[in-house]
Every structure is written in structure tokens, then in C-alpha cells.
């Protein structure tokens, strides 16, 4: 796509903007919390034993504060990535608000929806054009997929020597994880190749896949996104390699912070094999991407029990470990993200009231 066409895409504010309210509903928030509380309640019920807190390794529990710091560090890395990708069009504070809204929506909506539409919307509220917002979101997602190109081969290779997938998962669990590895790796390789080497293949593939009868109704919408990605890919290839490297580094650090969190919480209760716990945390993070429930709630708690539970020498701590992990990684972000989202709603209400007052004065 010629550069002037790209500039039109990136500078345009006239593209039809999706109604974010149709993508997010309070029912998702309620369902996500109910599923999470239910699964955690069951785990605590089946693993709790009287006098549990008397048997805690209290010298380990300060690790929970480290976990909380790691969450804050991850949010900072994500904010730095958005600030960097926007080439400072978004301030640090605005980047933080965007990330919190993105994380909030991702935490309470199904994976098929995710937080990308909300991130695009709130960036437009920060006076970034719709085209530029879409490009930033697309590139941020692409960087996350690029991490998988490196992470999955390492995970698969070490899995040949270490029990990354617990034995109690059985052959079905082993097969499911291999399928997840292959699907994610194939998608990540295709997206990376399309963005960095052959942008045209993205649009051609989308047109081919969405020409199928049962997908044809989504063709226009997806083709538009593919065209934006192709346009941004051409522009991205003109940037210095240092731009890509720094953005990738920030994305990787945020990803590693997310993967380390379950291990840090585990070690806050019992001693365990650190390397194996980290690898299992990485595997469960990948498996969590396929959870159909809002934010993966219900399923993620089960994955923690499946992957990290066997590493706990005292299984009675499993329920409280899952509770603390979700409290730090889910409920804290949901609460702070809801506060950030309400900021945009309040600003929108104030702007609407200002327009009404201005209209009333002009009519007098």
C-alpha cells in the first residue's frame, strides 16, 4: 500500500467505530467474578484443613508483597510499551489509563472479545485518531504473538526432559498441550512473517478464509482490520530496528512478569522446584488463552491446581494459594481498571454536559 494511503488510514477519524458497550456488558463482569469465586470456593473446601494458618510458613508469606510488586511492574512495562508505540502521542498517565482499561476488559470478557476494542476506544478518547489507535493495538498484539515464536520451542524442548505437563493430566492433557503449542506457534509464525516479511499475505489469507459461507458475514470487518495491519506493516518496516527491539523488550518483560506471578505466589507458601514451576506457569498461561469463559475465570483456577498443585508438598495450601494468586492478578486489576474506565465515562459525561450548556447559550 502506498505511503499516502497509509497516512490516510492512520490519520482518519471517520472510520466506523465499534460500539464498545456492545463488546462489554456488566453480565461479563458478574459472570467472571461468580465463576472465579465458585472455583476458588471449591478448591478451598476440598483442600482446607483445621489449623491451616497455624501451619503456614510465615517467613515465606512476604513473597506475596513481591507478587503485588510484580503486578505493578507488569502494568508499568505495558504502559511503557503503549507510550513508546504511540511515539509519545500518549502521555505516561494516558498510557497507564489505556493499559488498565485494556487489562480490565480482558479480565472480564471472553477471549474472542478481549480488551483490544476497549483499548482502541479509550485511545480515541485521549485524542489519538482511530486509525493510529488501531495501529498501536495491532502492533502491541503482534509483539505478544512474536514472544511465542521464541517461548514455545523452548517450552516444548525442555518438556522432553522435564514434566512440564503434570502426569495426572494424562495422555489427553499431554495431547491437548501439544495441540495448543502447535496452534499458537503456527499463528505467531504466520503473523510475524506477514508483518515483517510479506504483508500482502495477511490480506490474501483473510480474504480466502472469510470467503467461506459461514464466515462471509464477517468478511468486511476482518478485511478492514487486515488492510490496516498490512498498511502499518509497510510503515513499520521503515522504522529502525532499534524501534522494534525496544518495543519487543518491553513486551517480553511484561510477559515474563505475568508468567512469574503464579510461581512467586506458590513459593510464598511452600518450597518448590523454581524452574519447573516457572515452566508450568508458562504452559498454563498458554492453555489459559483458550479458556472460553470471561477472563478465563473458573478455568484458570483449575489450571493452577492442575499445573502448580503437584509441586506443593503440602496440598492443604493449594486453595489459599489460588485465592491469593487470583486476588493479586485478577481482582486488583479489575478494581483499578474499573476505576480507570469510570474516569473516561466521567470525562464523557462532563464533555456532553458542556456541549449541552454551549448549545443552550447559543439558542438564547
| pLDDT value for 352 | 43
Q: Give the best-scoring range by mean pLDDT among 1-15, 44-58, 205-219.
A: 44-58
Three cell numbers at 44? 478451598
Give 15's DSSP letter: S
If you search the block for the grid coordinates 512478569, which residue do you land on? 257
- Give the pLDDT score at 16: 37
| CB-based contact 287:293 (threshold 8 Å) | no
Render pLDDT for 98-149 as a digit per residue (tens, 0 to 9).
999 999 988 888 776 677 888 888 898 888 877 778 778 888 888 888 898 8
- pLDDT in the model for residue 248: 93
- Domain extent, residue 255, equals 3-363
Report residue 82's pLDDT band, with 50, 70 and 90 as the boundaries: very high
Q: Between these two residues, 279 and 9, which has the higher pLDDT value?
A: 279
Examine the pLDDT at 11 and tell me if it is beyond 70.
no
Determine if residue 170 is left, alpha or beta; phi over 0 gives left, psi from -120 to 50 gives alpha, anything else beta: left
For the chain, how many residues are written? 364
Query: What is the sign, positive or negative, of the torsion defined by CA atoms of 93, 337, 105, 18?
Result: negative
Confidence of residue 363 (pLDDT cuts 50, 70, 90): low
Q: Count the domains in the chain.
A: 1
pLDDT at 354 over 70: no
Taking only the tens place, the pLDDT of each residue in 282-326 is: 999 999 888 888 888 889 999 999 999 999 888 888 999 999 999
C-alpha 330/C-alpha 335 separation (Å) is 9
The Cα 115–Cα 99 span in angstroms is 9
Q: Which residue has the cell 497455624?
A: 54
In this predicted structure, the answer to whether residue 63 has a pLDDT above a threshold of 70 is yes
- Nearest CA to 294 out of 117, 31, 19, 103 is that of 31
Q: pTM for the whole thing?
A: 0.84
Residue with C-alpha cell 499431554? 174
Rg, Å, the chain Cα set: 22
Which residue is listed with cell 447559550?
361
Distance CA 128, CA 10 (A): 10
Residue 169 has pLDDT above 60, yes or no: yes
Window from 100-109, 224-233, 242-251, 320-329 with minimum mean pLDDT: 224-233
Pairwise CA distance, residues 55 & 49, whole Å: 10
Instruction: Write the DSSP symbol of residue 116.
Output: H
Amino acid at each position: 500500500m502506498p505511503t499516502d494511503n497509509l497516512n490516510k488510514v492512520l490519520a482518519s477519524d471517520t472510520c466506523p467505530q465499534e460500539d464498545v458497550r456492545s463488546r462489554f456488558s456488566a453480565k461479563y463482569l458478574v459472570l467472571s467474578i461468580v465463576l472465579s469465586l465458585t472455583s476458588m470456593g471449591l478448591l478451598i473446601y476440598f483442600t482446607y484443613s483445621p489449623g491451616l494458618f497455624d501451619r503456614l510458613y510465615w517467613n515465606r508469606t512476604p513473597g506475596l508483597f513481591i507478587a503485588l510488586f510484580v503486578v505493578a511492574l507488569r502494568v508499568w512495562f505495558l504502559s511503557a510499551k503503549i507510550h513508546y508505540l504511540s511515539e509519545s502521542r500518549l502521555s505516561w498517565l494516558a498510557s497507564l489509563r489505556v493499559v488498565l482499561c485494556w487489562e480490565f476488559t480482558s479480565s472480564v470478557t471472553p477471549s474472542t472479545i478481549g480488551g483490544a476494542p476497549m483499548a482502541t476506544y479509550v485511545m480515541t478518547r485521549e485524542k489519538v485518531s482511530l486509525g493510529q489507535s488501531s495501529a498501536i493495538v495491532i502492533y502491541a498484539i503482534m509483539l505478544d504473538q512474536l514472544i511465542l515464536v521464541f517461548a514455545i520451542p523452548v517450552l516444548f524442548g525442555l518438556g522432553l526432559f522435564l514434566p512440564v505437563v503434570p502426569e495426572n493430566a494424562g495422555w489427553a492433557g499431554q495431547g491437548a498441550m501439544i495441540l495448543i503449542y502447535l496452534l499458537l506457534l503456527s499463528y505467531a509464525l504466520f503473523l510475524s512473517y506477514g508483518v515483517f516479511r510479506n504483508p500482502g499475505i495477511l490480506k490474501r489469507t483473510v480474504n480466502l478464509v472469510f470467503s467461506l459461507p459461514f464466515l462471509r458475514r464477517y468478511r468486511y470487518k476482518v478485511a478492514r482490520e487486515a488492510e490496516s495491519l498490512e498498511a502499518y506493516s509497510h510503515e513499520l518496516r521503515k522504522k529502525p530496528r532499534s524501534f522494534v527491539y525496544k518495543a519487543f523488550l518491553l513486551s517480553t518483560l511484561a510477559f515474563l512478569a505475568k508468567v512469574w506471578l503464579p510461581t512467586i505466589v506458590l513459593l510464598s507458601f511452600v518450597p518448590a522446584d523454581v524452574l519447573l514451576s516457572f515452566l508450568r506457569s508458562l504452559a498454563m498461561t498458554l492453555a489459559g488463552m483458550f479458556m472460553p469463559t470471561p477472563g478465563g475465570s473458573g478455568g484458570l483456577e483449575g489450571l493452577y491446581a492442575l499445573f502448580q498443585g503437584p509441586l506443593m508438598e503440602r496440598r492443604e495450601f493449594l486453595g489459599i494459594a489460588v485465592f491469593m494468586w487470583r486476588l493479586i492478578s485478577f481482582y486488583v486489576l479489575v478494581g483499578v481498571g474499573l476505576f480507570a474506565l469510570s474516569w473516561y465515562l466521567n470525562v464523557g459525561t462532563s464533555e456532553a454536559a458542556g456541549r449541552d450548556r454551549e448549545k443552550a447559550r447559543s439558542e438564547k
